[in-house]
């Protein structure tokens, strides 16, 4: 079907997911989307797609790629982009996004701080670490600091029980924490 046969997509008709939610995914509509990947990321997406026997399997890696390219969150446009590229319904992709806890549907702060609070860490003082983070950053769990620099979160078991208590900041683990160590880590990140 050529583009001319369809009614043009006007902003009036585009709901949360646009008209795509009502019809089969169609790559012709890519032009309508606000979300695009850089050339380098496009190359990586092609590489990801080559790893799997079908396109659906690339769903989670593709969402990670888009999330990283989009300031650590997945906008409705990004979800629609992944759906169109992988020939899935946006509802499927949205279902995947809401199932997994590491996909953000709202923009987080520049640095995301996860403090593990499951039993092994709790036995070695994660409550104190979490309380210290809250006090130092001045926010509660799940909140972002006013300057948009940090989002504080709790994590369930980060698989580093032998070096508890543990927190993860962005992609790095910090282990055997003490309140002083947390101060040094957060102070270092507040500068960059």
Q: For 14, left (φ over 0), alpha (ψ -120 to 50), or beta?
A: beta
Nearer to another protein, 34 or 159 (CB): 159
Beta bridge partners of 177: none
Is 158 a binder of another protein (CB under 8 A)? yes
- Closest contact distance (angstroms) between CB of 75 and another protein is 17
Q: How is residue 8 annotated by DSSP?
A: P
Interactions with another protein, residue window 116-135 (CB under 8 A): 117-120, 122-125, 127-128
Q: How is residue 71 annotated by DSSP?
A: T
Both structure tokens of 182: 């947390």
Neighbours of 137 (CB within 10 A): 20
Q: Of the ranges 11-19, 100-108, 139-147, 184-192, which one interacts with another protein (CB under 8 A)?
A: 100-108
Integer Cα distance of 157 and 74 in angstroms? 24
Residues that bind another protein (CB under 8 A): 51, 53-54, 56-61, 63-64, 86, 88, 92, 95-96, 99-103, 114, 117-120, 122-125, 127-128, 155-164, 168, 171-173
């Amino acid at each position: 079907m050529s583009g001319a046969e369809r009614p043009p997509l006007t902003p009036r008709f585009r709901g949360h997911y646009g008209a795509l939610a009502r019809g089969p995914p169609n790559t012709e509509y890519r032009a309508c989307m606000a979300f695009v990947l850089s050339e380098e990321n496009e190359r990586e997406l092609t590489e990801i797609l080559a790893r799997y026997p079908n396109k659906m399997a690339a769903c989670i890696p593709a969402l990670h790629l888009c999330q990283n390219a989009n300031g650590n969150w997945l906008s409705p446009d990004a979800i629609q982009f992944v759906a169109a590229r992988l020939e899935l319904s946006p509802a499927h992709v949205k279902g995947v996004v809401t199932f997994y806890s590491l996909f953000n549907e709202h923009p987080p702060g520049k640095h995301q701080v996860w403090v593990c609070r499951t039993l092994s860490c709790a036995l070695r003082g994660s409550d104190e670490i979490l309380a210290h983070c809250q006090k130092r950053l001045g926010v509660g769990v799940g909140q972002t600091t006013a300057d948009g620099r940090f989002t504080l979160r709790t994590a369930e078991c980060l698989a580093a029980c032998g070096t508890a208590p543990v927190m993860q900041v962005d992609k790095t683990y910090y282990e055997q924490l003490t309140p002083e160590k947390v101060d040094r880590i957060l102070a270092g990140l507040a500068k960059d």
